[in-house]
């Protein structure tokens, strides 16, 4: 009996592995239903939210395998067995097959095509994900040091090589990038240098100045080594590091560092070429990390920061309770601070920041309604009138 029990477990694991392998081998078309509440008679917003709900369910159907089993077998060494397998896919396209609504909710049925390949290699899937994230604007701040020359890319008439290479790589993938020349002409040099050196708060401040949602701070350098054999050629080594920072919360969402070498007889040309090679490698490493963070934001739960002003402690307790029990999609609520009648909360939500803001302003907190005074991609500012 014990041997049969083990064979049963191994059989399930083997079967699941075959299922996952075949699932990832090709794209899949899946039909799924989605539903969303209608707030303030805004059927258009409810329709969008219902489609997002259906897309999430389509992904779960296509490639999500969630199996959890617990068994207790008396007189055997195996007391508990848990098998948990999860996979994730990406939607490359979808069609709305049916939609209907009443006064309270909007329902849709969609057919979605789930791309099982690597997201970073599928431009169509990237575009769909970027749209789901609200088409965030990207901005680069670069501090570049070449052999015998040190400049900040944002303070120079010529763009730094790392900036040129990285910006082109992001544009090629479909990202919306803030014009570097505009930034160079208007940003404060000292603030730009601080941001490029890794100051997340300074980077976030510049982002807000130019209407960007994410700033990528880059530090690149190239140095010359000894001459190669008895020639005039030198070996130049470059190191390029980068961090992607959210403008509204100053949170780092991705980081990477790459190196490259280039042989050349000229210091400037050799150093620049080495930085260019390292920047290509950096883009290949950084873009998938950013996309993966956004995919998690869209398909699972993302953290939205709430800053509520002019609020009493009793009202704060009510807000936290309503967030946890009455707001659809909220997974967790964490209080960060409460000072001078201003509260800061981190809310993990499966949905968008705009949806959360709509839900909050539609709630009645014992006769008190909240006003939205400001909103960005991952932050909502509210006030009690």
pLDDT of residue 3: 43
Q: Are 273 and 236 in contact (CB under 8 A)?
A: yes
Q: Are residues 31 and 100 in the same domain?
A: yes
Take residue 87 and report the two structure tokens written for it: 């996979």
Residues 286, 221 within the same domain: yes
Q: What is the pLDDT of residue 28?
A: 76
| Token representation of residue 123 | 């431009």
> Given 246, 267, 298, which residue is the final one in a domain?
298
Alpha-carbon dihedral of residues 128, 55, 47, 50, nearest 10 degrees?
-150
CB atoms within 10 A of CB 139: 29
Ranges of the chain with pLDDT below 50: 1-25, 64-89, 118-120, 149-157
Task: List the CATH number of the domain containing 102.
Answer: 3.30.1660.40
Say which residue the tokens 């995919």 belong to: 295
Is the C-alpha dihedral spanning 133, 137, 138, 141 positive or negative?
negative
Same domain, 113 and 146: no
For the chain, count helices (H), then strands (E): 10, 14
Give the DSSP letter of residue 40. T
Confirm whether 127 is domain-assigned.
no
Q: 294 and 312 share a domain? A: no
pTM of the model: 0.60
CA distance 369 to 384: 7
The answer on 314 and 246 residing in a single domain is no
Q: What is the pLDDT of residue 72?
A: 32
Residues 314 and 293 in one domain: no
CATH number of residue 263's parent domain: 3.40.50.10070
User: Do 147 and 275 fall into the same domain?
Assistant: yes
Regarding beta strands 342-349 and 90-101, do their DSSP bridges make them parallel or antiparallel, or are they unpaired? Answer: unpaired
Question: Each residue of 279-329: pLDDT tens digit?
Answer: 999 999 999 999 888 888 777 778 899 999 999 998 898 889 888 887 877
In a domain, 44, yes or no: yes
Q: Are residues 197 and 216 in the same domain?
A: yes
Looking at residue 200, its pLDDT comes to 72
pLDDT value of position 62? 64
Does residue 366 share a domain with residue 229?
no
**Residues 273, 275, 281, 285: what is their CA dihedral angle, to the nearest 10 degrees?**
-160
Residue 123, pLDDT score? 65
The pLDDT value recorded for residue 122 is 60
Among residues 274, 298, 322, which one ends one of the domains? 298
* Count of the separate structural domains present in the chain: 3
Q: Which of 281, 298, 315 is the last residue in one of the domains?
A: 298
pLDDT for the residue 73? 35
Q: 374 and 264, same structural domain?
A: no
Are residues 81 and 219 both part of a single domain? no
Please indicate, yes or no, whether residues 157 and 282 belong to a single structural domain of this protein. Answer: yes
| Cα 344 from Cα 320, distance rounded (Å) | 11
Report CA Rg, the chain: 26
Q: Which domain holds residue 353?
A: 302-383
pLDDT of residue 239: 94
């Amino acid at each position: 009996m014990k041997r049969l029990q083990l064979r049963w477990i191994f059989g399930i694991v083997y079967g699941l592995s075959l299922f996952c392998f075949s699932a990832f081998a090709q794209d899949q078309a899946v039909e799924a239903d989605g539903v969303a509440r209608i707030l303030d008679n805004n059927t258009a917003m409810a329709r969008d939210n219902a489609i997002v709900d259906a897309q999430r369910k389509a992904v779960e159907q296509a490639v999500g395998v969630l199996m959890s089993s617990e068994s207790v077998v008396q007189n055997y060494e195996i007391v508990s067995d848990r098998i948990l397998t999860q996979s994730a896919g990406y939607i490359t396209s979808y069609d709305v097959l049916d939609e209907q609504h009443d006064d309270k909710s909007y329902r849709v049925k969609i057919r979605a095509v789930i791309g099982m390949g690597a997201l970073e290699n599928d431009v169509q899937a990237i575009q769909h994900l970027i749209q789901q994230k609200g088409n965030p604007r990207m901005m680069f701040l670069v501090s570049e040091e070449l052999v015998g020359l040190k400049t900040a890319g944002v303070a120079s008439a010529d763009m730094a090589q790392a900036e040129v290479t990285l910006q082109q790589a992001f544009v090629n993938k479909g990202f919306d990038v803030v014009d570097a020349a505009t930034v160079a002409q208007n940003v404060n040099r000292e603030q730009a240098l601080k941001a490029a050196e890794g100051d997340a708060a300074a980077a976030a401040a510049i982002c807000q100045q130019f209407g960007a949602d994410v700033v990528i701070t880059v530090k690149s350098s190239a140095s010359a080594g000894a001459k190669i054999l008895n020639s005039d050629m030198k070996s130049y080594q470059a190191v390029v590091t980068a961090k992607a920072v959210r403008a509204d919360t100053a949170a780092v969402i991705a980081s990477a560092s790459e190196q490259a070498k280039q042989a050349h007889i000229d210091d400037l040309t050799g150093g620049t070429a080495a930085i260019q090679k390292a920047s290509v490698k950096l883009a290949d490493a950084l873009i998938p990390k950013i996309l993966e963070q956004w995919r998690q934001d869209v398909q699972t739960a993302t953290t939205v920061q709430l800053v509520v002003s002019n609020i009493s402690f009793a009202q704060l307790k009510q807000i936290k309770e309503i967030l946890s029990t009455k707001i659809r999609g909220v997974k967790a609520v964490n209080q960060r601070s409460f000072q001078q009648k201003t509260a800061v909360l981190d809310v993990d939500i499966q949905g968008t920041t705009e949806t959360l803001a709509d839900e909050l302003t539609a709630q009645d907190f014992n006769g008190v309604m909240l006003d939205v005074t400001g909103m960005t991609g991952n932050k909502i500012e509210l006030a009690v009138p």
